[in-house]
Amino acid sequence: MRSVFFHLIDVTRDKVAARLSAIATPTGSARWNFPRGSNSPALYIGFYDDLLMEAEPADLEELTASLGVMPAVSVIGDVSGSVPGDAEVRELAASLLTEFYGVAWDDYTNHCWTLSEIQSGAKAKGHTFFDYNGWHRDRQKQPVA
């Protein structure tokens, strides 16, 4: 499963939960399906509380440098394997990063993506945000050791 993360500052979980409930279908216990009302959701969304345990120290340093502080709230969106998810990931990013100050991470670059970078198609490490196909192609080109 592919994942995207949103790290937000100056906000509470309650405010983020209210925003998520407005754009996605609540499924109980701080979980949502996106898009709202879909019978086959593209994203499964929840709060991400494992940042300090799972992130590499260098990634935490980059995140803190980007935001100025550690995030107050982090959200994870797991992308269903049955859909590409590109449009839905970008729609979720626009909704969260317009409403709240923060950055996004994808599974591929660990770059702290701002909304303007995502929307403009900026590249980090030669790839745009959530460029799973590009990373897959790059891995296919690498010689097997």
Q: Is the pTM of this model over 0.75?
A: yes
Q: Is the pLDDT of residue 36 over 70?
A: yes
Give the residue-averaged pLDDT of 26-44.
Answer: 92
pLDDT digits (tens, 9 = 90+) for 38-92: 888 999 999 999 999 999 999 999 999 999 999 999 999 999 888 888 999 999 9
Kindly indicate the confidence band of residue 110, based on its pLDDT and cuts at 50, 70 and 90: confident
Rounded to the nearest integer, the mean pLDDT of the chain is 92
* Spatial separation of the C-alpha atoms in residues 103 and 113, rounded to whole Å: 5
Kindly indicate the confidence band of residue 136, based on its pLDDT and cuts at 50, 70 and 90: low
Residue 117: other Cβ atoms inside 10 A: 17
In the chain the domains, ranked by start, together with CATH numbers, are: 2-135 (3.30.310)
In the prediction, which pLDDT does 139 show?
64
